[in-house]
Structures are given as C-alpha cells and as structure tokens.
C-alpha cells in the first residue's frame, strides 16, 4: 500500500469547527422558488408559516441573502460532542480497486443517531426550546432522522413524536426502540390517529407508507397540539443550511492538506446531506472561483432528479403542506415495496432542484443490487458497514474510480458517507440470500404521478 | 456548563499512536500462573499449544518478560483505519449529575465491529495469515468478538467460523447477519456439529449456551480442520497484550493535558478491555511510580471476581482446553437466562486474577436493572447508546461520581466505554417495558460450581 503524506483520517481540532453555517442561497443567481400557499398560489411569508414551524427556523427558511448565519453557542457545544467528523482517505478501497483515483469520504455515522441528521436535529430542537415550546412532531423514513431528533430532544428536554413510515417501522423494530430509549413516541404511518392518515388508508388500504404520508400526519399532529411545532429532516432550505457544517468541515480538512477535489458525490433523498456537503464548493463555483463536478446519486426506484418533473408540488401526500418548486415524482408516489434503503422521498430540495435545473450539478440513478454490491465491497475494505442510503454515493464513487482505472487519470473524488447500516441488516440479508430485486418504475407509472401534479392558481 | 481548557474529545494524531504493545506481565512481581495440561498437571509450553493456537500468539502468550512488543506495521496500518479512539470528557454527564468529579471515557465503539474487540481480532488474524493458515474458528457471546474477527478476516482474506452462544444467536439476528456480511459462517452453540456440543446438549437439552460451551466447540472444530487454528477474544494473556493499545492511547491523551486520574474503571467479563485499559497505569503502580484506584465491574449474575474462587479451572465447559488459574465460578456455570448483557464468562483473565489476588485492584458487582438505568442516563446525556457490557463501567463511574457529589471531592474518573448497543435493543426493550429482572445466584448454586472444580494432578 502506498501512503502519501496524508493521514487516513483528517481531524480538525475543536477550534477549527465552523462558527457559522453557510447559506448557499446567498450566492445563487437564481434563487430557489418560494413556498406557495396551495389555495391562493401566493408565496408564503413568515406569518403564514408560524402555525407549523418555529419562528427562527422560518427566518432561516426565508433568508436567501445572508451568506453566514452564526451557529448559536449551545449548538456549537452540542456539535463538539460528536464533531468534527473525520474525513477519511480510502487507501484500502483504492488498493482493492487498483485505481489511481484518490478517494476521500466524509464520515457522518460516528454518532449514536448513526447519520448526519443530528446536525439539523439539534438545531431545530434548540430553536423550538428557545421559543418555549413543549415539543415537536416529525416523520421518519428509514429511521435516521427520527433517531437524531429523539436524541436532540432528550438532550434538551423536549417531547418528541415520530410518525415512522410503516414499512420501516415493521422492518426495523430496533430502530424504533432506539427512539424510545431517547424518550420519543413512535407511530407507524399511515395511522388512524390523524385525518390525513385515515384518508390515505381509506384510499390505499394496504399501503406500506411513504415519507409524504408521514409528513402529512406529523404536520396535522403539530397543528393540533398546543405548544408543538413540526420539524423536517430534509428538503427545506433551513435543513440544508444546518447541514452545511458537513461541507465546511470537509473543505477545511482538504484545505489543510492542499487537496482540491475534482468530483464531489452525495446520495440524494430529500437532499440535505448532499446540499450540506457541496455547499462551500458550490459556493466557489457560483462565485466563479473554482469548478467542480458535483454528482447527486438517487435510487432507480425513486428517481426524482433523473426522471422527475421540475414543478410546483405538495411536500406531502395528504396535501396539507405548502407547495414547493422542485424535481418531483408527484406527491402520491410511493416506491415499490421491494425498495430496501431510504431516499424514498417523492421530491427534492428546492435549492438543489434549482441548481440542477441551472446545469450546476449532475445526477445519476443506481439500482439497489448494485448499491449493496458496493456496500459490501466497501465494508470489507474500509471496515465501516454503510447505510444503504450512503451506499448510493459509494456506488457512484466506485464507478468514477473505476473509470479512472481505465483512463489512468488520478482524479480526487470526495463522497459523503452519511451513516452506518446497523439497523439495515434485513436489507443486507435480502441481498445475501439473493432475494433482492431491482424495480424500476415504468414511464407510464411516473406519468400517472405527473398527471396529478397540482394546478397552481395564477401559474397555470 | 463550565468548560475547562480541555476539549470534549482528545484525539491523538496518527503519529502519536502506540508503536508497541505493553506487556504488563513484565512488571508483575508475581507472574500469572501458567496454563496446565489437565491430564498431567504440567505447565504447557510452545509445543503443547501448537495444535490449537498460532505460533506467534503462543510466544506472546508465554512471554512474561518482554515489556514492549512491537506492533507489526501491517497491524499499525489497520489500527490507523479506526484509531486513535477518542478520549471524551463527559461534560454533559457531569452537569446532569451535578458532581464536582471530572469524568473521562475512552470510547472504543467507533468502528463497525462496535467494540474494542477489533484491537485483538486484527492482531490474531494477522498472525494466522502470516503463518500461512487458511482460517480460524472462535466463539462469541453477545457477538462483539465474532463481529470484530469477521471484519479482520474479511480484510485479510481468511476463513472465519464462529460458534455463537445460542441465546445471543436467537436474540440478535442482526448481529449474526453483520458477521455474514463480512463473510463468516455462524453456528448457534451448543450445536450438533461437534462432539463437545453433542455432549453438552445430551446433558442439558434446553441449555441456552455459554461462552464455555462455544469455546469447546470452536477448539474442537479448529483441531479437526487442516490449516485452521482457534482464536479467543478475551481471557488470554495475548489478548490483554493487544488491548494495551487502549490504555496506552488513554495515558498519552491524558498526559497531553496533564490530567492524572484518581480512579480507573472497566467492565470485566473475561477481562480483555479492563486489562488493556489499565495496563500502563497498573505498570506505574507495580513499579511504584504512582498509585491509582482500579475497579473491575462485573454483573451480579456472573460474579467471578467478587464471589468466585481463585483456582485452576478449565477455560471451557467441554473440558477440552488447558487449565488456567483464575477467579472462576466453575466451567459449568451458565448465567441465568434473564441475564441480558454480555460479560457471561465463568472465569477471568489470569493476569487480572493475579493482580486482584495481590490486592492491586478492586472489584464490584452490579445488578442489570441498575446497569440499564445508567445506560439510559448516559445515552441521554452523552448521546452515545452504550452496550450493556460497557454500561457496567458507566454504573460504577456514576456511583463514584455521586460519592464525590456528597463529599465535594473533585476526583478524576476514567472509564472504558467499550462499545455501542445497537444490537442490544431487545435488552433495552425489556428494560423499558419493566420486564427486566435481577437474578443473583445463591451461595448454594455457586457452591455446586466450586464442587466441580477440577483436581489438578500434583497440586491437590
């Protein structure tokens, strides 16, 4: 094995941790489109959103101009408990592949929540607490976000109510139990607890749920509970803002060793990890300072970027949320039940959607058996058992590294390893036993979703 | 919260990683007693052990004189993939307890195996590979050791066959699946595959297994398979030697900030984590350079230190292994089925047994409901979901910190947080639902085990 003058893991000191989040929107020439009121088609302002979101988070959501937003000291203190996360040089993986490419990954799975989600969970819980609220509600898909939020709420003494996509609730009983260890209440979604849930169940009695359904239920529950607000683990501008800590640390660590990446890769469900990882790099690109290839990787079974429409759509299945302009498969889209990993949201962050639309980044979709092949190869080489979500990024990084092997190019590839797969062993078992299949939705199926895209008053 | 000039987490740089293991035995005035041949009562030498263990590991097992044993470069490279592990100052826990004590924990759960076991797994697998062997067999209890060994074997391309204590095999299907992800074969023990297993099952048809049973099966399987040797995750001198990397890093990190601990605490099953953590501190104590309180913590349901006998006993239930002089409950001892955590071995490392016998360390036992109370409190304060094993050390650390609260003493407490509890959610669930009970063996039950201690030819 050849070692350069670069350690396996680049750690920043606590002093080098970011003191402010970076708001990518400040540098975007075309800003992400505003959230719209589905009834009137009017952009939603601070007052319109107050019933659902915490005040300070609405301010962050709507702020397209401030580039640096200071991280409150209390959140910095919490970050210091598990950050900086290491930036790892994948020497073993490079050797196994026999590639001249230099591969780095930013590993966000080293905290108990097992993923990057904690970066935004603590911020959202902090602002809820500061506003004097009693608790928050949320949805969770594979369970990473719910776990992270439960931890943050336990730390701050907030109530936490999680609507968990039913298929995950059943496939991941231990994930559920972790959330309960941190004191959260967990309900499989769709449930009979909310009007949205009852309506969805009446329409599709056997449904295994979707993030869109769970969001409808969580929003309804928040609105119905005094002293309670709704928080979301991805998609929103505020979440990407908090996740910028990933990219800021990555850039600082690379700068420390004079490394400049050629390609930056992240998996994309709602887009929070990718948006956070690429933020400072995309900022340089937007300001014309430097160019990078930036690649979003999504499941072939839930291909919002690569096969979706860039249009206004509901953020949720129950159609109780605002409309967001994004790449979407339609708010009624539910990935096939054989889809084992996360990344199952029907839409995509409006910020990333706009950047993709403007040609500033690329997107690829990958089938899940290829994703698990990459996961296993990575686990055996690098010793980290990756989450299926993260393994989408691994797959794309391997593909790029193998291209370098063919061409002999020594490209530097950085990818986001968002989390660990400890709670995903059912999916791994399916892969090992050969029972995993690859379902790719047909054009007709996708068209059915597009046909139901909402008509926006004043826009149509 | 008051912060001193000490970061949450003290990381060493890769350059500061230990280059040699520290062999505590070199500084012991009374050496640990040798392994004996159960038939003849003669000390077992290199040749006697070659059929079961790898050559280099036997040399390490028998070497009571060399203080520093260089870590081969290949193992150092592997260590760099997940080490140094952080030494964390538990500011949040201290605040929650309102104690003037300063609490540090060395966190070994940050790698995929989820525990400190990887430190010895890679060493043992490396020497097996270097000797040209095809594979290794082993036992595993809660699954940490089996997982670690599977990872190490995957990395080096060795076959790995794991006999897993049946109760864990059934309670932890996902743990089993992780081992399979790394390519290991996993068999519930006792099994019908080996003579030892069949004999144990004939005698106790409904048994849920024990580490002692699984060891017998793994040793038999190794002896019966050409190119195969047996490796063990704890108890043996060689394992404590490898685990000294924990203590060496801990001491280096504390020294860096001029911190001198008053109390050092570790959980103890077979003793490998504790023996590794305390090694350099105990060395100073043995050499008369400095004094520390050193506390072993064990389950009240498997109390080898606090209620066992210091005597020669079989290392395994099937009585195919050598005799070791250690604190033991008798090789037939099986903890009550309601015992949820690990640390279920009937004996204790001969090195630690000798040190305890010589009054150089203390031991306490704790009941499991108090252990899970501590685990939950710790999780909510520090954000890490601890393994039940590790939570024994947390319990004792909390108890010491609470004593400081009463007396006002500002003691510095260091404990080993050996691993994460991601695969122990069944036990957490039991605790949450109030179904967890505390079984403490009666004197009569223990006496039955002592009555069956082997008679050693020439010693009795």
Instruction: State whether residue A432 sits within 8 Å of chain B by CB.
Output: yes
Task: Report the first-to-last Cα separation within chain A, whole angstroms.
Answer: 60
- Put simply, the answer to whether B81 touches A382 (Cβ < 8 Å) is yes
Q: Please report the residues numbered 263 through 302 in chain A whose beta carbons come closer than 8 angstroms to any beta carbon of chain B.
A: none
In this structure, what token pair is assigned to residue A362? 């690329």
Phi then psi dihedrals of residue B338, to 5 deg: -80, -5
B11 has pLDDT over 90: no
User: Taking the CA atoms of chain A, what radius of gyration do you get in angstroms?
Assistant: 20
In this structure, what token pair is assigned to residue A397? 């990084």
B161 has pLDDT over 70: yes
What pLDDT is stored for residue B1 in this prediction?
46
A315 has pLDDT over 70: yes
How far is residue A329 from each of residues A39, A316, B96, B399, measured CA to CA in Å? 21, 12, 47, 55
Residues 6+ apart with CB under 8 A from A30: A354, A358
Instruction: State whether residue A77 sits within 8 Å of chain B by CB.
Output: yes
Under DSSP, the state recorded for A412 is E
Chain B residues touching residue A381 (CB < 8 angstroms): 155
- Put simply, the answer to whether A174 touches B174 (Cβ < 8 Å) is yes
Interface test with A, best of B76, B94, B385, B436 (most A CBs within 10 A): B385
Instruction: State whether residue A435 sits within 8 Å of chain B by CB.
Output: no
B3 has pLDDT over 60: no
Q: Which CATH number fits domain B9-17+83-114+244-450: 3.40.190.10, 3.60.150.10, 3.40.50.1100, 3.40.50.1000?
A: 3.40.50.1100
Domain A21-69+117-237 has CATH 3.40.50.1100: yes
Separation CA B32–CA B41 (nearest Å): 16
- Report for A107-116, A279-288, B5-14, B181-190: range of highest mean pLDDT: A279-288
Separation CA B310–CA B352 (nearest Å): 11
With tokens 């939705």, the residue in question is A441
- Put simply, the answer to whether B174 touches A177 (Cβ < 8 Å) is no
How far is residue B200 from each of residues B194, B224, B343, measured CA to CA in Å? 10, 19, 21
Helix (H, G, I), strand (E, B) or coil at B424: coil
Chain A residues touching residue B177 (CB < 8 angstroms): 425, 428-429, 432
Counting every residue, how long is chain A? Answer: 460
- Put simply, the answer to whether A155 touches B383 (Cβ < 8 Å) is yes
Instruction: State whether residue B7 sits within 8 Å of chain A by CB.
Output: yes
Distance from CA of A129 to the nearest CA of B (A): 16
- Put simply, the answer to whether A425 touches B173 (Cβ < 8 Å) is yes
Residues 6+ apart with CB under 8 A from A19: A70, A71, A76
CB pairs under 8 A between A and B: 114
Domain pair B9-17+83-114+244-450 / B21-69+117-237, same fold: yes
- Put simply, the answer to whether A180 touches B14 (Cβ < 8 Å) is no
Taking Cα atoms as reference points, which of A69, A99, A89, A76 lies closest to residue A7?
A89
In this structure, what token pair is assigned to residue A335? 């990935």
Strand partners, B325: B312
- Put simply, the answer to whether B383 touches A181 (Cβ < 8 Å) is no
Per-residue pLDDT reduced to its tens digit, A320-329: 889 999 999 9
Residues 6+ apart with CB under 8 A from B363: B268, B295, B296, B297, B298, B305, B306, B356
Q: Do residues B153 and B136 make contact, with C-beta atoms less than 8 angstroms apart?
A: yes
Chain B residues touching residue A178 (CB < 8 angstroms): 385, 422, 425, 428
* Structural domain spans, chain B: 9-17+83-114+244-450, 21-69+117-237
Count Cβ atoms within 10 A of the Cβ of residue B136 and give its class: 0-12 exposed, 13-18 middle, 19 or more buried: buried
Per-residue pLDDT reduced to its tens digit, B187-198: 999 999 999 999
Chain B residues touching residue A9 (CB < 8 angstroms): 14, 80
Average pLDDT, chain B: 94
Instruction: Give one DSSP letter per residue of B150-190, joined into a string.
Output: HHHHHHHT-EEEEEEEHHHHHH-HHHHHHHHHTT-EEEEES
Per-residue pLDDT reduced to its tens digit, A55-84: 999 999 999 999 999 999 999 999 988 899
Q: Please report the residues numbered 177 through 216 in chain A whose beta carbons come closer than 8 angstroms to any beta carbon of chain B.
A: 177-178, 180-183
Instruction: State whether residue A5 sits within 8 Å of chain B by CB.
Output: no
- In terms of phi and psi (left: phi > 0; alpha: psi -120 to 50; beta: otherwise), the region of B408 is left
Instruction: State whether residue B380 sits within 8 Å of chain A by CB.
Output: yes
What pLDDT is stored for residue B144 in this prediction?
92
In this structure, what token pair is assigned to residue A411? 């490209």
Per-residue pLDDT reduced to its tens digit, A190-215: 999 999 999 999 998 888 888 888 99
What pLDDT is stored for residue B275 in this prediction?
98
- Characterize the bridge pairing of strands B293-299 and B362-366: parallel
Distance from CA of B102 to the nearest CA of A (A): 16
What ipTM, to 2 d.p.? 0.85
In this structure, what token pair is assigned to residue B274? 């504790």
- pLDDT band, very low/low/confident/very high, at B2 (cuts 50, 70, 90): very low
Separation CA A310–CA A329 (nearest Å): 9
Separation CA B453–CA A190 (nearest Å): 59
pTM given for the model: 0.91
Per-residue pLDDT reduced to its tens digit, B218-276: 999 999 999 999 999 999 999 999 999 999 999 999 999 999 999 999 999 999 999 99
Interface test with B, best of A105, A115, A174, A436 (most B CBs within 10 A): A174
H or E element: which one contains B415?
strand B412-417
């Amino acid at each position: 094995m050849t070692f350069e003058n670069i350690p396996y893991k680049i750690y920043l000191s606590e002093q080098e941790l970011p003191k402010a989040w970076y708001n990518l929107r400040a540098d975007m020439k075309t800003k992400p489109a505003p959230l719209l009121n589905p009834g009137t088609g009017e952009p939603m302002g601070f007052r319109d959103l107050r019933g659902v979101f915490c005040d300070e988070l609405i301010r962050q959501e709507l702020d397209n101009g401030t580039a640096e937003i200071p991280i409150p000291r209390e959140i910095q203190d919490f970050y210091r408990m598990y950050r900086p996360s290491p930036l790892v040089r994948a020497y073993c993986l490079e050797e196994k592949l026999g590639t001249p490419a230099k591969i780095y990954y930013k590993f966000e799975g080293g905290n108990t929540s097992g993923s990057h989600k904690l970066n935004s969970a603590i911020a959202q819980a902090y602002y809820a607490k500061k506003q004097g609220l009693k608790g928050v509600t949320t949805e969770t898909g594979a369970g990473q976000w719910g776990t992270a939020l439960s931890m943050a709420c336990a730390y701050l003494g907030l109530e936490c109510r999680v609507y968990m996509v039913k298929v995950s609730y059943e496939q991941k009983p231990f994930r559920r139990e972790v959330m309960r260890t941190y004191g959260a209440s967990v309900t499989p979604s769709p449930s009979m607890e909310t009007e949205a849930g009852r309506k969805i169940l009446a329409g599709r009695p056997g449904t295994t749920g979707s993030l869109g359904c769970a969001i409808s239920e969580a929003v309804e529950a928040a609105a119905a509970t005094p002293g309670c607000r709704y928080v979301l683990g991805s998609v929103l501008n505020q979440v990407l803002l908090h996740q910028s800590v990933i990219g800021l640390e990555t850039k600082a660590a690379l700068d420390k060793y004079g490394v400049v990446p050629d390609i930056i890769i992240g998996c994309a469900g709602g887009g929070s990890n990718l948006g956070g990882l690429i933020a400072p790099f995309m900022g340089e690109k937007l300001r014309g300072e430097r160019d990078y290839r930036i690649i979003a990787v999504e499941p072939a079974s839930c291909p919002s970027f690569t096969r979706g429409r860039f249009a206004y759509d509901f953020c949720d299945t129950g159609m109780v949320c605002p409309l967001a302009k994004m790449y979407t498969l339609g708010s009624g889209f539910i990935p096939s039940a054989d889809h084992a990993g996360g990344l199952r949201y029907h839409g995509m962050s409006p910020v990333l959607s706009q950047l993709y639309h403007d040609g500033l980044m690329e997107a690829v979709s990958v089938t899940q058996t290829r994703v698990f092949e990459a996961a296993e190869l990575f686990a055996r080489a690098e010793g980290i058992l990756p989450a299926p979500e993260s393994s989408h990024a691994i797959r794309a990084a391997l593909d790029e590294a193998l291209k370098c092997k063919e061409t002999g190019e020594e490209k530097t590839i950085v990818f986001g390893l968002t989390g660990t797969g400890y709670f995903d062993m059912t999916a791994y078992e399916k892969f090992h036993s050969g029972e995993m299949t690859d379902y790719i939705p047909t054009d007709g199926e996708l068209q059915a979703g597009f046909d139901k895209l909402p008509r926006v008053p004043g826009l149509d």
